[in-house]
Structure 1
Amino acid sequence: MRALPQTTVNEMSASQQHYVHLLELYLDNNPIRLTDDVTDVVMGVNTFTAGGHLLDFQHDGDGNAMNISTVTVTLSGVDQAMIAAALQYQFVGRRMVVWRVYFNAAGTMLQPFILFDGRSDGPATEDDPASGTCTIQLRASGHFIDFERVRGRLTNHDAQQVFFPGDKGFEYVPQLGKEIQWGGK
């Protein structure tokens, strides 16, 4: 559980809430910063541009926990500079951060917090020549997406059959009752 300031917690439980999302995509020395707010949002020294481009994002999991967490950001009505960036840069492995910022009743920005921090899996573009629009979807995965993935090859009969059909070398391994460490004692 992340520790949020009490002012943010109070605003989150208010009957009427005003919050916006901020997107940071790090592309070399040219980070893209967008917001889904109707006006630009300044956070520190960074300005998040409101151009109506940040249409939607879907997030699963808690970005602060050690679990598989992904986010898909949909950018619509994208201008030529954004399309050029999507075609020019190698997106795979680039850092993507999604923030949430609450505003109190007076319109003062409260402390932002990170909803998601991970690495981009790359963009998918969809052009509609009839309407002249372009939509870009950016998908990213959390840092622990491969945390539970087993590396290397398994030493069991079924895994061996994938690479060497008919080989019987690992057929009786389950009957040994112990784990074999190759190169170990």
Structure 2
Amino acid sequence: MTRALDGSTIAAITAGHVPYLFFVQMDFSQPLRVCSAGYDIDWNGATWVGLGTLGSIEPIQEQASLEAIGVRLTLSGVPTDLIAITLGEQYQGRPCQIWFVPLREDLQLAGQPVRIFSGRMDTMDTEVGETATITVSAESRMVSWDKARSRRFNNEDQQSRYPGDRGFEFVPQMVDRQLLWGR
């Protein structure tokens, strides 16, 4: 996948020593936003909780073919008050995103973070102690490529997706209607 990088990001990653950060967002009812910094960072209109270290992120692969690619990441040191969100909600199929950004010498962002993964959460294991560890497996959106879509051309299905739309309201009346053409 081709990505556009700004000049400051290119300059930072071609330097001799490159400090960097990862941002991870998991969308529960209240998004869980964490980063690999040892301090909280304000970026993209939100405050990202600094964990100091994220734990681990499996190497993220990219394919030129239409193939589902997943990632497994471990977030360690998550404050226990943020864990209540993850334990009490349905998480499968919810968005999960990972960004990467190099840092300047003063440990500030060297450019705009680059999204390196965007997918949906699949499985999650949580270990709770003084701090918590979350291990999440996420799949790219391509995993649903082969799934059959169960859409119907009827009013009920249309109303579930677009309430108030009357486009299929009279379809049942037209099923057995005799139409005479050419008179």
TM-score by length of 2: 0.69
Q: Indicate the residue corresponding to 1:182 in structure 2.
A: none
Taking a change above 3 Å as real, the CA distance of residues 51 and 62 of structure 1, as seen in their structure-2 partners, is same
The 2-side partners of 1:19 and 1:34 are apart by 14
Give distance in 2, aligned partners of 1:53 and 1:107: 15
Mapping of residues 27-66 of structure 1, within 5 Å: 27-28=28-29, 30-52=30-52, 54-62=54-62, 66=66
1:142 counterpart = 2:165? no
Aligned residue number for residue 14 of structure 2? 13
Deviation of the 1:127 alpha carbon? 5.7
CA distance in 2, matches of 1:53, 1:108: 17
Q: Is the 8 A contact 2:79 2:131 kept in 1?
A: no
Q: 1:75 to 1:106 in 2, by over 3 A?
A: closer
RMSD: 2.7
> Percent identity, aligned pairs only?
26
| Aligned residues of 2:38 and 2:53 also touching (Cα < 8 A) | no
Separation in structure 1 between the aligned mates of residue 143 and residue 51 of structure 2, nearest angstrom: 31
Q: Which moved more, 1:49-58 or 1:91-100?
A: 49-58
In terms of mean alpha carbon deviation, does 3-12 or 85-94 score higher? 3-12
8 Å Cα contact 1:41/1:48 also seen in 2: yes
Q: Deviations over 1:15-74 (max 9, x none)?
A: 11011000111112x111101111112113111111347222114313998542212121
Structure 1 residue runs of 4+, over 6 Å off?
none
Specify the alignment match of 1:180 in structure 2.
Answer: none
**C-alpha displacement at 1:133, in angstroms?**
6.2
Structure 1, gaps ≥5 residues long: 153-185
1:106 is displaced (CA, Å) by: 4.5
